[in-house]
Structure 1
């Protein structure tokens, strides 16, 4: 085991700092994971710019990255359910372990929670120390790259689709076809829904179509809303998921929704404006935020991936070495990549 490792920090102001730091030593109930794949997420750009969407610490002190996967290389003396050589992904939220929210598996609602890559060391490094309870054992045959994507990117949209109630009778709209929207297209199709995917970028629409979207549209086109309504038989969408975080997309989704529809807001946005009477009261819509997934959902996430032979690696358009972190974040920020992943 080496004494030092390469790790990536995001101090803000579009700076990327690649440092050599000590390899951490796991405590009694912790494990040390050798990271093989770690994804860049759009929320990481809040650290990149210096306005973190999850606050509570100095980002310059913590290794970034909240979507890692790898192999267990050392276990603490109290760890019994994991062993050296296990392939794992890592759940990003570290809770107290004993409050109600932790007991039911929603660690990110814990009042004392910490977040990988934001308020504690994350996975954009050669090694990561985490509590053993945060490990997600991955099945034989799943690559580390697919395992990393299966967490925040795919798992978040799986959970959103489940909350929306996607099934074989559903007609679902997905706004914003970056990595999250693309993952949502895969998840919604696997759950049986018909999907209309919307994004102003033509290449993203083409990619969503290749993933199985039934209809792809430019939401800024004058007749886009009419086409959505026609696609949904005139009644409107039974559900919608916004991954863009744009107020215009929120309002278009609400306009396109059928009465009693369910709308999940996934894209980060500090504030938005909607037509309360027309959308919420008259149509009796249910609009809610959806972030990440409960840890007990991971078994179902893996089951859907396996049963529908979902190729998550298709979502990774670019891979990088940790030493190329400055280039990786610059390209991701400039939308020259979709899902970008550090691999070893």
Structure 2
């Protein structure tokens, strides 16, 4: 089979490698669509993610996949060959309280495909059968792939932040996560304000449903949000940039008793807890992916509300063009880049 390997800093190779073996609890999945994520670029640039450096070279990245079950181990009962599935990226111990509730990413022993183990930028992948999440025939493989991270994560963030009709939602950052947030917040009924310094990305966000767009290079974000919200401030803000300016913007634009969701990965941030949080009595939520057991709920929501999640896939490539795909994604010239295989 063909598999992408990161063999050095900003060096991609597509190699022939054996199809992985299936254990008794495993499923072999033939990939049909798998997206690139900003976190894939950590390894691409020679840095680390999840505080792990065990797979710096000669590993297969990719953690947003879906495909068709090809083979299952003797102990797998939830899926069978021929099933269309999305794949949950995290593998835990399977026994702790977090694994049992579907939050494997919180397990002390968790591993993520594409980081601690070979990922999905390949023709096939082996994962525990429990990580296979069925997708209905009416959902495309590309859409399902985008739900395994961006879509599922932003659905969960909007639900947990209580986005609903009439509420003003500021989304900071109009990259893939932010634009996924635009789609989900609109489907929940929110009035969406998108903030970004890239005019092209703001135009894209408008095209998928954002009600207002603010470029901090051109106008004062806090002042403009107050104008839009008739002096109250936003009810909810979702931070998707992963930088200090974005985080502070999210904290500053919400009204007293508002809610802020933090999605953008960031190892350091300075803010004023008293003025920005305590005295406004804000609720701040860490938002990371989704609970595996919510998959059916997420898929139903997208289908019932006609969420155009597939529009995020602005660039599609075959696996043999991985070098170009990574280069384009790294240039910020795309929203989501997705590897696809013919039906």
Q: TM-score, normalised by structure 2?
A: 0.96
Gaps of 5+ in 2: none
Gaps of at least 5 residues in structure 1 are none
Tell me how far apart the structure 1 counterparts of residues 205 and 333 of structure 2 sit (CA, whole Å): 17
2:290 equivalent in structure 1: 293
- Tell whether 2:229 aligns with 1:236: no
For 2:332, which of 323, 335, 344 is the aligned residue?
A: 335
Aligned to 2:306: 309
Find the counterpart in structure 2 of residue 123 from structure 1: 120
TM-superposed CA distance for 1:220, in Å, is 2.9
Match of 1:51 in 2: 47
Structure 1 runs (4+) deviating above 6 angstroms are none
Conserved? CA contact 1:153–1:180, under 8 Å: yes
Within 5 Å, give how 1:176-195 maps onto structure 2: 176-195=173-192
Q: CA deviation at 1:167?
A: 1.1
Question: Equivalents in 2 of 1:302, 1:281: separation in Å?
Answer: 37
The answer on 1:320 being equivalent to 2:317 is: yes
Query: How far has the Cα of 1:224 moved from its partner?
Result: 2.7
1:256 aligns to what?
Answer: 253
Given that 1:59 and 1:119 are in contact with CA atoms closer than 8 Å, whether structure 2 keeps it comes out as no
- One of 153, 158, 161 as aligned partner of 1:161: 158
Measure how far apart 1:214 and its partner are: 0.9
Distance of 1:13 and 1:262 partners within structure 2: 39
Deviates more, 1:52-61 or 1:289-298: 52-61
Cα RMSD of the aligned pairs, angstroms, is: 1.2
Cα distance between partner residues in 2 of 1:337 and 1:168: 30
CA shift at 1:160, angstroms?
A: 1.2
1:267 match: secondary structure:
coil
Q: Does 1:6 pair with 2:2?
A: yes
CA separation of 1:275 and 1:221: change in aligned 2, threshold 3 A? farther
TM-score with structure 1 setting the length? 0.96
Partner residue of 2:223 out of 204, 215, 226: 226
1:175: how far off? Answer: 0.7
| CA spacing shift, 1:112–1:236, aligned 2, 3 Å | same
Q: Structure 1, residues 109-149: CA drift from partner, whole Å, max 9, x if none?
A: 00111101000111100000000000110011111111101
Of 16, 35, 38, the match for 1:39: 35
Whether contact under 8 Å (1:219, 1:225) holds in the other structure is no
Aligned to 1:246: 243
Aligned residues: 340
Q: Secondary structure at the match of 1:63?
A: coil
Match of 1:283 in 2: 280
